[in-house]
């Protein structure tokens, strides 16, 4: 019997179908199809031809391709019985549950006592398609691999783009040509990791930031994943995302994959980026006070590191508040035994040598300066010399001869006793003090992959949040080592990178905006000399790069010259005046004709205004800046455009380009087709252009 289903929003259609009782396959995912399209015909047309050397029927690239049907590529599921014998399931259709924007398909394998479910839901407002797969079994099984529902990949693409990175160098984009076989990304570190952000873009030939077709994927899981992008011998292509094999150490009878988030756009990478940004902001993050503006942060890490003293911190807090900071985050070093990163992770008790009267005097001072108080913790970790470990040696993950990371061990969060202990420590800390924000760090990889650890962390965060509903959390893992939609279900801000070097940040946050909105992306003004790169950068550049995201300061404000102080305050004032609309704005990548320029446009949700940040990351080859074309404006309408920081033009900019001295009115058509002609500038500087719809 032929069965077909479809899900549609205004811009995309997903069609699934099967001609017999086996697992359905995605027969179409792309631009919206008309309502009258005959799905049975699409299913029939999806069938590829066969020629010599092939089987007598084509094994389906189904939602979970089955080895039992001689599928010629990576199967969607790999499992074995308790005795180690591999199982080769073969599922048949049971039922479908269809709603306007969701679809659940149930299958069973009676021989092996297994049931498989694929679920899809399409968000008509954000255009994000979310799926997961579930396997249940009569008997416990070892599940080595279960992909979220498997998607075919378009043939119009020559390449794929995925992401790698390192400490202080997150979100590096890799372009790989589609060739025979598998591009496999596998993260066995036990956290999302800098190295393998779980995202993938499939741009059709010719697609760029602003135009063309792009299919995008993100796997919302914080414990390590595997991505398989495979070109089969017959030319078909598949994409699979699942937990990294080996993460499920125990046998299971019921397992659901994390969510796979997908979107299709015919407006280039920006179409996907906007979908993900809005979905994160509106659907994934749960804000305790959604209408409260994002506060300007002050974080003391790169100011003082572990050398905390009440008097110095009070001075710093006063200066930070006078710059416009609204939240003061006390970073690592406030608790017992923490004079460097070699010890102290254990009980989360205030260090009475540094704070003889506890944290209250500092908190009172910070509150008196009109700021919220936040604090750093790293609850999943423990120092090897912690007395707690002597009492509970079995609370640690990994063996005695394991290699330490940042001199620390990992607590076994799958152990309910460990979770209760940590909940006790943290809830005591939060109950005893006026703390509204926690920066939650995770500075080493796990000794071995273990998915139960991630679920334990999720459970602890969930419990803490339900006990302290007004609490906001920041996800940090040596910078951007735990950035994904799974952690964002529980947190409100991401520490995207440990580099506060504005030049490096410019690139990192530009790439990350394919998935992340301003609302959750922290970005700080670092010290004059960046401690992680050694670079000296001008205050204007540092401040504007931070102002592109959720702005903060992370340096010793006592180092500021009067001019730097004034400049920084001006930018913070500007950010505070604009943050409400920028919180909801779409971050759009601009296609610059000059590779030295990294430029983006924040567009008001109703299109009534925009701000363009055009960063100059290197010296240009040509003399004059090439016009920078804007995007998504109303072609026939007019905009008043002004170069906000024209006073930053260097003396070597000797000419008189219009925007250097005047604001001007242009049509959207001109701004999108010709673009803005900006003044000459130094590398490591950034132009800020405001536009208002008239
Ligand atoms: C790593 C983080 O990414 C930094 O911001 C800082 O919090 C340190 N850990 C503290 O140890």
Sequence-distant (6+) residues with CB within 8 A of 140 are 82, 251, 252, 253
- Cα of 439 to ligand 1 centre, how many Å? 9
Nearest protein Cα to ligand 1, atom 11: 332
Task: Give the mutation target among 383, 478, 494 for probing the ligand 1 site: most ligand atoms within 8 A of CB.
Answer: 478
**Residues lining ligand 1, Cβ inside 6 A:** 301, 331-332, 376, 441, 443, 476, 478-479, 495, 498
Ligand 1: nearest atom to the Cα of 331: 7
Are 541 and 502 in contact by the 8 Å Cβ rule? The answer is: yes
Catalogue the E-assigned strands of 444-528: 472-475, 493-495, 521-525
145 confidence band (pLDDT: 50, 70, 90): very high
- Cα of 553 to ligand 1 centre, how many Å? 14
Task: Give the mutation target among 331, 333, 481, 500 for probing the ligand 1 site: most ligand atoms within 8 A of CB.
Answer: 331
Per-residue model confidence (pLDDT) at position 23: 98
360 confidence band (pLDDT: 50, 70, 90): very high
Structure tokens at 690: 């405001």
Ligand 1: nearest atom to the Cα of 341: 11
Element (H, E) at 504: helix 502-512
Phi, psi of 398, deg, nearest 5: 95, 165
Per-residue model confidence (pLDDT) at position 454: 98
- Cα of 495 to ligand 1 centre, how many Å? 9
Q: What share of the chain in percent tops pLDDT 70?
A: 100
Section 238-260 average pLDDT: 96
For residue 198, is pLDDT > 90? Answer: yes
What is the per-residue pLDDT across 635-689, written as a single tens digit (0 to 9) for each? 999 999 999 999 999 999 999 999 999 999 999 999 999 999 999 999 999 999 9
- Cα of 478 to ligand 1 centre, how many Å? 6
For residue 246, is pLDDT > 90? Answer: no
Per-residue model confidence (pLDDT) at position 343: 95
Task: Give the mutation target among 301, 334, 483, 496 for probing the ligand 1 site: most ligand atoms within 8 A of CB.
Answer: 301
Sequence-distant (6+) residues with CB within 8 A of 142 are 79, 80, 81, 82, 84, 248, 251, 252
Q: What share of the chain in percent tops pLDDT 90?
A: 99
Nearest protein Cα to ligand 1, atom 10: 332
- Cα of 307 to ligand 1 centre, how many Å? 14
Section 277-295 average pLDDT: 97
Task: Give the mutation target among 305, 348, 444, 495 for probing the ligand 1 site: most ligand atoms within 8 A of CB.
Answer: 495
Give, in degrees to the nearest 5, the angle at Cα 119 between 117 and 123.
175
Cα 100 → chain centroid: 29
Structure tokens at 250: 């125990």
Nearest protein Cα to ligand 1, atom 2: 478
What is the per-residue pLDDT across 462-497, written as a single tens digit (0 to 9) for each? 999 999 999 999 999 999 999 999 999 999 999 999
- Cα of 235 to ligand 1 centre, how many Å? 46
As a whole number, the mean pLDDT across the chain is 97
- Cα of 99 to ligand 1 centre, how many Å? 45
Ligand 1: nearest atom to the Cα of 305: 10
Give the C-alpha separation, 491 to 485, whole Å: 9
C-alpha distances out from residue 323 to 215, 439, 560, 565, 567, Å:
43, 22, 11, 7, 10
121 closest CA partner among 217, 261, 247? 261
Burial class (CB in 10 A: 0-12, 13-18, 19+), 633: buried
139 confidence band (pLDDT: 50, 70, 90): very high
Nearest protein Cα to ligand 1, atom 1: 478
For residue 321, is pLDDT > 90? Answer: yes
In this structure, the number of other CB atoms found within 10 A of the CB of residue 152 comes to 18
Section 11-31 average pLDDT: 97
Ligand 1: nearest atom to the Cα of 478: 3
60 confidence band (pLDDT: 50, 70, 90): very high
Give the C-alpha separation, 487 to 522, whole Å: 15
Residues that are catalytic: 441, 498
- Cα of 298 to ligand 1 centre, how many Å? 14
Section 56-66 average pLDDT: 97
Give the C-alpha separation, 76 to 275, whole Å: 27
Per-residue model confidence (pLDDT) at position 420: 97
Ligand 1: nearest atom to the Cα of 554: 5
Structure tokens at 213: 């077709």
Report the chain's terminal Cα–Cα distance, integer Å: 58
Report the half-sphere exposure of 426 (CA within 13 A, side-chain side): 29
Ligand 1: nearest atom to the Cα of 477: 3
């Amino acid at each position: 019997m032929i069965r077909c289903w479809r899900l549609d929003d205004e811009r995309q259609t997903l069609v699934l179908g099967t001609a017999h009782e086996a697992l359905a396959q995605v027969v179409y995912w792309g631009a919206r199809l008309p309502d009258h399209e005959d799905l049975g015909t699409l299913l029939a047309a999806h069938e590829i031809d066969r020629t010599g050397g092939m089987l007598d029927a084509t094994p389906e690239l189904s939602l979970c391709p089955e080895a039992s049907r001689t599928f010629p590529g990576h199967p969607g599921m790999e499992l074995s019985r308790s005795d180690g014998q591999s199982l080769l399931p073969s599922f048949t259709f049971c039922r479908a549950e269809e709603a306007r924007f969701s679809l659940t398909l149930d299958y069973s394998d009676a021989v092996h006592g297994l049931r498989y479910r694929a679920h899809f839901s399409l968000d008509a407002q954000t255009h994000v398609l979310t799926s997961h797969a579930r396997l249940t079994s009569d008997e416990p099984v070892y599940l080595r691999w279960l992909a979220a529902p498997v998607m075919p990949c378009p043939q119009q693409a020559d390449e794929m783009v995925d992401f790698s990175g390192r400490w202080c160098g997150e979100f590096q984009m890799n372009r790989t040509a589609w060739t025979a076989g598998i591009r496999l990304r596998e993260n066995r570190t036990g956290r999302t990791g800098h190295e393998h952000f779980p995202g993938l873009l499939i741009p059709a030939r010719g697609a760029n930031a602003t135009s063309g077709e792009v299919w995008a994927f993100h796997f919302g899981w914080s414990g390590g994943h595997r991505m398989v992008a495979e070109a089969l011998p017959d030319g078909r292509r598949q994409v699979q995302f699942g937990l990294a094999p080996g993460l499920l150490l125990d046998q299971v009878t019921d397992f659901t994959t994390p969510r796979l988030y997908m979107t299709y756009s015919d407006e280039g990478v920006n179409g996907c980026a906007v979908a993900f940004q809005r979905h994160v902001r509106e659907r994934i993050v749960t804000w305790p006070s959604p209408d409260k503006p994002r506060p300007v942060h002050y974080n003391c890490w790169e100011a003082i590191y572990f050398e905390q003293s009440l008097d110095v911190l009070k001075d710093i807090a006063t200066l930070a508040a006078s710059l416009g900071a609204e939240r003061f985050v006390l970073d690592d070093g406030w608790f017992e035994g923490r004079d460097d990163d070699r010890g102290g992770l254990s009980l989360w008790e205030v260090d009475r040598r540094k704070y003889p009267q506890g944290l209250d005097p500092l908190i009172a001072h910070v509150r008196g300066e009109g700021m919220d108080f936040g604090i750093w913790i790293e609850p999943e970790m423990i120092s090897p010399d912690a007395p707690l470990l002597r009492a509970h040696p079995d609370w640690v993950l990994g063996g005695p001869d394991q290699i330490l990371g940042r001199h620390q061990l990992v607590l076994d969060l799958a152990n309910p006793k460990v979770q209760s202990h940590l909940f006790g420590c943290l809830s005591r800390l939060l109950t005893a003090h006026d703390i509204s924000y926690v920066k939650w760090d995770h500075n080493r990889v796990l000794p071995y992959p273990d998915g139960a650890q991630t679920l334990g962390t999720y459970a602890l965060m969930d419990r803490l949040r339900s006990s302290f509903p007004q609490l906001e959390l920041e996800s940090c893992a040596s910078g951007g080592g735990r950035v994904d939609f799974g952690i964002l279900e529980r947190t409100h801000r991401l520490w995207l990178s440990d580099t506060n070097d504005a030049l490096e940040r410019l690139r990192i946050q530009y790439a990350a905006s394919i998935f992340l909105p301003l609302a959750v992306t922290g970005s700080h003004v670092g010290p004059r000399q960046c401690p992680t790169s050694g670079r000296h950068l001008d205050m204007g550049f540092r401040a504007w790069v931070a102002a592109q995201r959720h702005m903060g300061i992370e340096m010793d404000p006592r180092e500021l010259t009067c001019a730097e102080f004034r400049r920084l305050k001006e930018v913070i004032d500007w950010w505070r005046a604009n943050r409400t609309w920028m919180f909801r704005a779409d971050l759009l990548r601009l296609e610059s004709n000059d590779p030295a320029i990294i430029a983006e446009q924040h567009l008001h949700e109703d299109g009534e205004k925009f701000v363009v940040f055009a960063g100059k990351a290197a010296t240009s080859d040509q003399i004059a800046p090439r016009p920078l074309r804007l995007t998504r404006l109303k072609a026939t309408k007019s905009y008043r455009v002004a170069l906000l920081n024209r006073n930053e033009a260097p003396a070597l900019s000797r000419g008189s380009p219009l925007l250097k001295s005047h604001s001007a009115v242009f049509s959207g058509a001109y701004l999108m087709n010709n673009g803005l002609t900006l003044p000459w500038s130094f590398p490591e500087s950034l132009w800020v252009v405001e536009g208002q719809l008239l």
